[in-house]
Structure 1
Amino acid sequence: MTDRASARAAKSTLAARFAADPGVAGVGLARQDADYVVRVDLTEADTDGRVPRDVDGVRVVTHVVGAVRAL
């Protein structure tokens, strides 16, 4: 079971790694079943291959959300 503190640390690692990547729209935490996971929102499906499936034992999930624009 992944606790929130471990997931936050993994989120920080990924957020720093993808801060300047235009293919990543956001990095956050999510709950799946009883575990916390890091959720990476992508602008395009082909970006998925660059995102690891696991960071420091914390599962990483991706979702393609498309381009994010200000209203």
Structure 2
Amino acid sequence: MTDRAAARAAKSALTARLSSDPGVVGIGLARRDDGYVLKVNLADPAAAPRVPGDVDGVRVVTEVIGVVRPL
């Protein structure tokens, strides 16, 4: 089980790693039955292979949501 503090620390590391990737449109925390995971929102599925499966023991999940544009 991953607690919120561990997930937040892993999020900082993952954000630094993926901040320049144009396929990544968002990184956040998500609650799962076994604690917290990192959730990476992607513009397209081609970016998925560049996202690690875990960071510092915290599981990473991805979801393709498309391009995010301001209103």
> Match for residue 20 of structure 1?
20
SS in 2 for 1:40: strand
> Match for residue 29 of structure 1?
29
**One-letter amino acid matched to 1:13:** A
Structure-1-length-normalised TM-score: 0.96
**One-letter amino acid matched to 2:69:** R
| CA distance in 2: counterparts of 1:3 and 1:39, whole angstroms | 15
RMSD: 0.7
| CA distance in 2: counterparts of 1:58 and 1:18, whole angstroms | 16
> Match for residue 53 of structure 2?
53
Tell me the CA shift for residue 61 of structure 1: 0.3
Count, aligned residues: 71
Gap regions ≥5 residues in structure 2:
none
> Match for residue 11 of structure 1?
11
Structure-2-length-normalised TM-score: 0.96
SS in 1 for 2:67: coil
Moved over 3 A (4+): none
Gap regions ≥5 residues in structure 1:
none
Identity %, equivalent residues: 63
SS in 2 for 1:2: coil
| CA distance in 2: counterparts of 1:46 and 1:35, whole angstroms | 28
